[in-house]
Structure 1
Amino acid sequence: MTQIKRLDHFVLTTARLDECLHFYADVLGMRVSHENGRYALFFGRQKINIHTRPTEFLPAAACPQPGALDLCFVVDGPIEEARRMLRARGIVPETEIVKRRGALGDMRSIYLRDPDGNLVELCSYETGANENA
């Protein structure tokens, strides 16, 4: 069997398109694309497709809903920088910095909410984790 290599994209359903694009692009620094009536966000080698209603494009998940996701993004640099950047943009995280265990080992995270209520975790791996794997 072929082994899964990495995540390519996922779909985020939003009820607040403009606020959603602002949050992910202007607050978190992702690049927005709008082609053929479809929105997408890009970061690194990954993509988030943005849908504004369930089953906007088929096939689709059985029960897509705004606010149903729990996402974790690895940031470049110390998590303290991410916290400062968020606060400078008027975003108050749901938590202070906490220790967690991610796919590559020990990390430090902060949690916040996007405009639809999705839980967004920003994390930074402690030294020694091979983040390029």
Structure 2
Amino acid sequence: MISHIDHIVLTVADIDRAVAFYESVLKLESFTFANGRKAVRFGQQKINFQVLGQELRNHAMEGAGDVCLITSWTLEEVVAHLKANKVMILEGPVSKSGAQGPIQSVYFNDLDNNLIEVSVYEEPLSDDQEAE
């Protein structure tokens, strides 16, 4: 029935500040859509931002988000980039389980305390390695 995630929504205190963080720290592309709303996108997905009470159907609080993003960078590059942007790493690199298998992850908070996990899938085992 479900094929993929189209977008998620994070509740933040200041949308412009959140957009700037996701542009600089995660290298996502910002854009404006429907009635001046703001989002960032990557691949075929996007993250929308809202302030508390903006969307009456959504009861999420600031900092309630927990998102795992897959990167094409090495984790060493991610860690260096986060440190260069003065982002405190909460945990990692550490082994976790992704939707398609084992991943290596680093965790940090965005400016509104949403938990962000940036991950790399581990190399799949070759047939020779599986036989060992």
Contact 1:11/1:51 (8 A) holds in 2: yes
Query: Paired residue for 1:12?
Result: 10
| Structure 1: runs of 5 or more not aligned | none
* Cα RMSD (Å): 1.5
Q: Verify: 1:111 aligned to 2:110, yes or no.
A: no
Residue correspondences, number: 124
Give the counterpart letter for 1:127 in structure 2. E
Contact 1:16/1:115 (8 A) holds in 2: no
The structure whose Rg is larger is 2
Identity of aligned residues (%): 35
Contact 1:111/1:120 (8 A) holds in 2: yes
Contact 2:89/2:108 (8 A) holds in 1: yes
Give the drift of 1:96. 2.8
Query: Paired residue for 2:41?
Result: 42
Contact 2:105/2:117 (8 A) holds in 1: yes
More strand as a share of residues: 2
Give the drift of 1:112. 0.1
More helix as a share of residues: 2
Between the aligned partners of 2:32 and 2:51, the Cα distance in structure 1 is: 13
| Structure 2: runs of 5 or more not aligned | 126-132
When normalised by structure 2's length, the TM-score is 0.86
